Amino acid sequence: MNYTIRLVIDCPDHKGIIAAVSSFIALHNGNILSADQYVGDPPEPRFFMRLEIESGGFGLGREEFAAAFAPLARQHGMNWRVSYSDRPKRMAILVSKQGHCLIDLLWRWEAGELDAEIPLVISNHDHLAKNTTAHGVAFHHQPVDGGSQREQEQQIKNLLHEHEIDLVVLARYMRILSPEFLDSYERPIINIHHSFLPAFIGANPYRQAHERGVKIIGATAHYVTAELDAGPILHQGVAHISHRDGVEDMVRIGREIERGVLAQAVRWHLEDRVLTDGVRTVIFE
């Protein structure tokens, strides 16, 4: 079956990178289907690149690519990764009581809009078990009540390792993951925050926004880091509101934004369109 090879690169910017990578692919009889590149800001700009290569006729098998590309990567100081479109990433979703983001992701996944495998959903509450299993996805209830957060997070981590998860999505998971968990779990985690960051971090952002009298509210999808709501931003959306909108109105409007913003961020990650540049992201849409 014909599939697409995705090659993603970042390295210090200098002359000849595009030529070198293109020559490597041509040397192995590869056909480039798409190519995007971007150079970051001075004084030490970095070069970012995403390629899609047709598998048909390409002279390197999956098990051969890394060894063949490594010398070129070392020569140019590249960080790089390669993935294959016929091997979808395995995604786990963490959720609490609010199901709008979870249900939206599961619907999009079932409709073929998200190219992933979703073997499980994990929650610290049992409210959304039926919504999850209705989509043929296993639901794991991992409460904190009666135990410690450390024990609960260890159980979560065991499940993620057992199911070989590549990406974790926090779909309104209303607990802060501990620094110990984040340090020990080395896969990317995407969170949806119900605010247009960096405004109104932490709990109750809609109430904070209402008290401040803002005229725009939003939602932000970002990678999770140890600093609360401060990870690299993937996507944001906004909606205009008026003085007539109370907190409940803002929550309702915000849910619409959250669903779309999270789904788009997850889609970009699954398709290897995101590269991080410190606290910023480069996204080849």
Closest to 53 (Cα-Cα) out of 72, 21, 25, 15? 25
Rg (CA), the chain: 21
The DSSP output letter for 147 is S
Per-residue pLDDT, 70: 97
Quote helix, strand, coil % in the chain, to nearest 5. 35, 30, 35
Which residue is catalytic, options 10, 166, 229, 272?
229
Helix (H) or strand (E) holding 205: helix 205-212
**More confident: 110 or 248:** 110
Angle between helices 247-270 and 205-212 (to 10 degrees): 130
Cβ contact 79:10 at 8 Å: yes
What percent of the chain shows pLDDT beyond 70?
A: 97
The per-residue pLDDT for range 189-215, each reduced to its tens digit, is: 999 998 776 666 666 777 777 788 888
Question: Which two three-digit tokens encode residue 33?
Answer: 């289907």
- Is residue 204 left, alpha or beta, with left meaning phi > 0 and alpha meaning psi from -120 to 50? left
The per-residue pLDDT for range 235-269, each reduced to its tens digit, is: 999 989 888 888 888 888 889 999 999 999 999 99
Task: Please report the domains of the chain, with CATH numbers, ordered by start residue.
Answer: 4-84 (3.30.70.260), 90-283 (3.40.50.170)
* Active site annotation includes 145: no
Per-residue pLDDT, 200: 66
Q: Is the pLDDT of residue 137 over 90?
A: yes
Q: What is the mean pLDDT of the chain?
A: 93
CA distance 255 to 190: 17
